[in-house]
Amino acid sequence: MRNGVIIALAAALVTAGAAAAPAQAAPTHAAPATTTPTQAAPTKTRQAPSVTAREAYLVDTMDGTVQFAKRESRRVPVASLTKVMTAYVVRREARLDDVVTITKADVRYATAGGAATAGLRAGERLTVRDLLYGLMLPSGADAAHALAERYGPGTAKFVAKMNDAAQALGLRDTRYANADGMPSKAYSTARDQATLALAALRDPVIASVVKTPKRVVGKSALHRGHVWRNTNDLLDDGAVGLKTGFTNQAGYCLSFAAVRGGRTYVGVVLGERSDKARFATARKLLDWVSEGAASEGATGGVAEGAGVTLP
């Protein structure tokens, strides 16, 4: 991850907790910078928290300082965090009012793989706006497949666009193989996923979607009714996103953003041992960095000694 990327992307967030109005036009993004994030010198003896996740990363988006890092550059599967990139690419390829027809292949793909679904049925016609909620809240692999088939066109071409976007964002240790994160040879890192989270949150539509607890889509002549609930329990603690993920191969994963003490932090937890543990780890990291800032009497700066890298 590049320090310039973090600061440039974070500047567009302004206040991460503010409501973001949906827009039709997809925003442009700053080109990746070439500098690295800064590590605050550990001149104090404040103990870093014990983290059970295999990989973890936490960044202060205000100045790009790394607050916590554990195996942040190790290439691992990231499960449904993949869908953050899917949403990112869709926002650059589609209009929110485009209508997508759900096919038998979309439904069969999700159910055959045992993936989470948005409960879509063949023949339904939904807008891209609605499908983004179906993609991100219940983590619907059926929604991911439908969007990839439409905006590749075809899944292979869509995945190529995902990898092109990863390269443009400077995600050097990321490779996608599908649009949903089902087990494959795909990989990423906690550090790359933090950079992607910032880029995604800069999009006002994605930022609005990922902090929504529940989305109700009323029945119409084009589709049946749907109620989608966000799988991100961290929203109950004031988080403003972003995405959960799980496969047996990847473990329990979480990409998150939250405001503490007037500062926005973005973090990633990968390979955690349980659903409950991933949220507990995220809360622990956020509480730790907040307490550190308070103990140092910070008024807009990070706590001295907060930048910690674990082997």
How far apart are alpha carbons 125 and 91 in whole angstroms? 18
Residue among 291, 300, 298 at smallest CA distance from 49:
291
DSSP result, 211-261: T-SEEEE---SSS--EEEE---GGGGGTEEEEEEEEETTTEEEEEEEEEET
pLDDT given at position 281? 98
pLDDT tens-place values along the chain, 311 residues long: 445 555 455 544 433 333 333 334 444 444 333 333 444 433 344 688 999 999 999 999 998 999 999 999 999 999 999 999 999 999 999 999 999 999 999 999 999 989 999 999 999 999 999 999 999 999 999 999 999 999 999 999 999 999 999 999 999 999 999 999 999 999 999 999 999 999 999 999 999 999 999 999 999 999 999 999 999 999 999 999 999 999 999 999 999 999 998 899 999 999 999 999 999 999 999 999 988 766 665 433 333 233 333 22
In this structure, the number of other CB atoms found within 10 A of the CB of residue 27 comes to: 14
83 is catalytic: yes
CA distance 282 to 276: 10
pLDDT tens, position by position, 274-304: 999 999 999 999 999 988 766 665 433 333 2
Q: What pTM was computed for the model?
A: 0.85
Residues 44, 70, 73, 80: which is the catalytic one? 80
Catalytic hit among 139, 188, 255, 290: 139
Element (H, E) at 307: none
Catalytic one of 83, 211, 243, 284: 83
The highest-level CATH class for domain 3-23+35-310 is alpha beta
Judge whether 274 counts as a catalytic residue: no
Q: Does the annotation mark 284 as catalytic?
A: no
* Residue 82 near residue 186 (C-beta atoms within 8 A): yes
Q: Which residue, chain included where needed, has tokens 């390269």?
A: 167
Pairing type for strands 251-260 and 239-247 reads: antiparallel
Give per-residue pLDDT as tens, 54-111. Answer: 999 999 999 899 999 999 999 999 999 999 999 999 999 999 999 999 999 999 999 9
Alpha helix segments (H runs only) across the chain: 3-11, 82-93, 104-112, 128-136, 141-151, 155-168, 190-202, 204-210, 275-295
* Domain positions in the chain: 3-23+35-310
